[in-house]
Structure 1
Amino acid sequence: MTFLSILCALLIEQLKPLRADNPIYGGIKLLAARMELWFNAGHAHHGKLGWFLVMAALMVPTALIYWLASRVSPFAALAWNILIVYLTLGFRHYSHYYSSIQLALNSGDDAAARILLAEWTKQDTSTMESSEIARIAVEKALVTTHRNVFGVFFWFLMPVGPACAVMYRVAEYLARAWNEPEHMKNEAFGVFAARAFYWIDWIPARLTAIAFAIVGNFEDAIYAWRNFASRWQDEAVGIILAAGSGALGIRLGTPLQGAANVMPVDPTTLDTTELESDAAPGEEPTARALQSTVGLVWRALLLWMLLLLLLSVAVWLG
């Protein structure tokens, strides 16, 4: 049932993509904002209480309906599973941005690509060159695909899968909503949400990196993972992007991320061998890298689906 639920949800999303600004997500955002307004008194334990209340408000009804549907018939449970997977997946939430950026870069219209990237990432892109636009688009796509697809897959495999899938997506949103906005930075309220998602995403992030390595350049992906993942402040993001960069053969991340303090030296006495070994492998991203990223993501998706199919067959036969 798990494999069939995910397959049906993916097919439905291909035909009818769910917009990122849909009413369901809007309601969750409103609930999170209300919890922050009601409970944020500047202490970490208030954030912990708010986090558990949000989770209870969303997971308990999801699990209860799943239990009731299972009692009615397997088809009712399957329908509920498909609905929840469809709502929690976001495979095509932002694909229009990515595709439009790819088309703009291929046609040499960097200005249009900058505007699209700014709308997607909410960053200042006014001075970005085409290689930087491509790099950020690839990074955003890899991380978004992990959090909107592969992380959901993992938690949907757990007992009471629909509730666990909801937990993963909501935990990811709370970690962002209660930490990233300017008024929430350095606030104790979001500490627990960030830490909770760190552990919730610990295994899925590594499975996604392994999938990228298997369907891409395995040796370079593992090498980049082992040697360059720590350059990102976010550990999970670092693992995913390092493995993705090695799998694709392109250089992701910026020199400022995790770079050591550099002291001026005499160039004639500088040993460049060590510096070269510290350089991330791969080439500078180009417009072609965006197409390669699409291929990597689809191959990783097919790998996940194959593993889910084998697992479902094993459970059915066992």
Structure 2
Amino acid sequence: MDLAALLLALLIEQAHAMPANNPVWASFRGWSAWFAKNFNAGAQSHGRLAWVLYVSGVGIAVTLIWWGATKLHPALGFAVNVIALLFTMGFRRFSHAFTLIEDAVREGDADAAYKVMAQWRAEQDRPLDVPTLPLHRSAAMAIEDGLVASHRSVFGVMFWFAVLPGPVGAVLYRLTDHIARHWSRPHVGGDRPEDLRFSDFARQAFEVIDWVPARLSALGFAIVGNFEDAMHLWRNRALRFGDDTRALLVAAGAGALGVEIGPPGKADSGLDWSGSEAGAAAMRSAAGLAWRTAILWLTIIAVWTVAQLFS
């Protein structure tokens, strides 16, 4: 049932993507803002309490809805799984922006590429802090964000959907990602730098939750791309990319594609690697890498499902 729900949700999403401003996610954003406004008193413990109450409340509600639907009829439980996946998983929630940037890069329109990149970053709660970008940097940032989005909108959701019962894993994974980003914005957490301590626990919790699926996604990039370079950058990512899960995905993606993405390279970084400059062709290759990784993990889930049936 899990595999069938995943496949059906992906097919429906390709035909008709769920709008980013749909009522469900609008309500989640509203509740995130409410918790930040009413629980943030400048201490990390307040953020921990708000996170636990918010995440556990949503988790219990989703579990009860799925359990009740399944008790009424297994088909209803399956339908709840598919609906939850439609709201949490899919390539098309970010592919439109990626394609617009690719088109602008191909046409040599730096202003158009920057405008779309700025809007996309704002939607990710990661606003750009530069007034303009050269074409190759817009392309590089689009590839970087596209690979991370493919993980967080598809592969990470798939992992937690397979691990936890019903749709609760998929919903909680996407919710914790959203909370970590949303509460880290200064205008949400507070106007003072110390107010961002409220989001410390949310960021740390998501790093823990994303630890295993991020490494599986990075491994997938390596398997379907340039394995040797991907693993080299994975092992040495702290020299240039950083040491969190996002840095891991960007490093593995850069090596798999052989393209310069992430922070601009420095001659004294100590990292013995250089890739080609990002452009429209590299963006097309990145899209192919994401799809090949999706097919790889769907195949693995299918094999695991069949093995479970005959065990």
TM-score over 0.5 for the pair: yes
* d(CA) in 2 for partners of 1:279, 1:118: 31
- The letter of the residue matching 1:166 is V
1:114–1:125 CA contact under 8 A, matched in 2:
no
* d(CA) in 2 for partners of 1:63, 1:73: 15
Show CA shifts across 1:98-122 (max 9, x none).
Answer: 1111111112222211221122123
* d(CA) in 2 for partners of 1:108, 1:179: 34
- The letter of the residue matching 1:254 is P
- The letter of the residue matching 2:48 is K
Q: Which moved more, 1:102-111 or 1:196-205?
A: 102-111
Show CA shifts across 1:155-189 (max 9, x none).
Answer: 00113241111111111111111113356354221
Task: Please say if 1:254 is aligned against 2:247.
Answer: no
Paired residues in the alignment total 302
Show CA shifts across 1:75-100 (max 9, x none).
Answer: 11111111111111142112111111
Task: Please say if 1:194 is aligned against 2:203.
Answer: yes
Alignment partner of 1:166 out of 168, 171, 180: 171
Give the aligned partner of residue 80 of structure 1.
80
Q: Which moved more, 1:160-169 or 1:207-216?
A: 160-169
1:45–1:189 CA contact under 8 A, matched in 2:
yes
* d(CA) in 2 for partners of 1:50, 1:13: 32
Show CA shifts across 1:205-255 (max 9, x none).
Answer: 100000000000001100111112453346101110000000001111224
1:212–1:247 CA contact under 8 A, matched in 2:
yes
Give the aligned partner of residue 235 of structure 2.
226
Task: Please say if 1:111 is aligned against 2:104.
Answer: no
Secondary structure at the counterpart of residue 94 of structure 1: helix
Give the aligned partner of residue 284 of structure 1.
277
Give the aligned partner of residue 57 of structure 1.
57
Which sections of structure 2, spanning at least 5 residues, go unmatched? Answer: 122-126
Secondary structure at the counterpart of residue 92 of structure 2: coil
Q: Which moved more, 1:140-149 or 1:231-240?
A: 231-240
1:230–1:238 CA contact under 8 A, matched in 2:
no
Q: Which moved more, 1:159-168 or 1:283-292?
A: 159-168
* d(CA) in 2 for partners of 1:250, 1:308: 29
* d(CA) in 1 for partners of 2:48, 2:273: 38
Task: Please say if 1:317 is aligned against 2:310.
Answer: yes
Rg larger for: 1
Task: Please say if 1:181 is aligned against 2:186.
Answer: yes
Secondary structure at the counterpart of residue 278 of structure 1: coil
Give the aligned partner of residue 154 of structure 1.
159
Alignment partner of 2:217 out of 192, 195, 208: 208
Task: Please say if 1:16 is aligned against 2:16.
Answer: yes
Secondary structure at the counterpart of residue 147 of structure 1: helix
Which sections of structure 1, spanning at least 5 residues, go unmatched? Answer: 260-271
* d(CA) in 1 for partners of 2:188, 2:67: 40
Cα 1:305/1:41, change in 2 over 3 Å:
same
* d(CA) in 2 for partners of 1:313, 1:193: 37
Shift of 1:69: 2.0
* d(CA) in 1 for partners of 2:98, 2:57: 34
Shift of 1:18: 0.9
1:114–1:133 CA contact under 8 A, matched in 2:
yes
Percent of aligned pairs sharing the same letter: 39
Give the aligned partner of residue 101 of structure 1.
101
Shift of 1:145: 1.0
Shift of 1:58: 1.2
* d(CA) in 1 for partners of 2:205, 2:294: 26
| Aligned 1:25-40 pairs, distance under 5 A | 25-40=25-40
Alignment partner of 1:241 out of 250, 256, 264: 250
Shift of 1:202: 0.5
1:246–1:281 CA contact under 8 A, matched in 2:
no
Give the aligned partner of residue 263 of structure 1.
none
Secondary structure at the counterpart of residue 132 of structure 2: coil
* d(CA) in 1 for partners of 2:182, 2:239: 24
* d(CA) in 1 for partners of 2:92, 2:227: 26
* d(CA) in 2 for partners of 1:45, 1:3: 39
Show CA shifts across 1:16-63 (max 9, x none).
Answer: 101212111110010011111111111211111111111122111110
* d(CA) in 2 for partners of 1:229, 1:12: 39
Give the aligned partner of residue 308 of structure 1.
301
- The letter of the residue matching 1:292 is S
* d(CA) in 1 for partners of 2:38, 2:239: 36
Cα 1:142/1:200, change in 2 over 3 Å:
same
2:227–2:256 CA contact under 8 A, matched in 1:
yes
1:228–1:280 CA contact under 8 A, matched in 2:
no
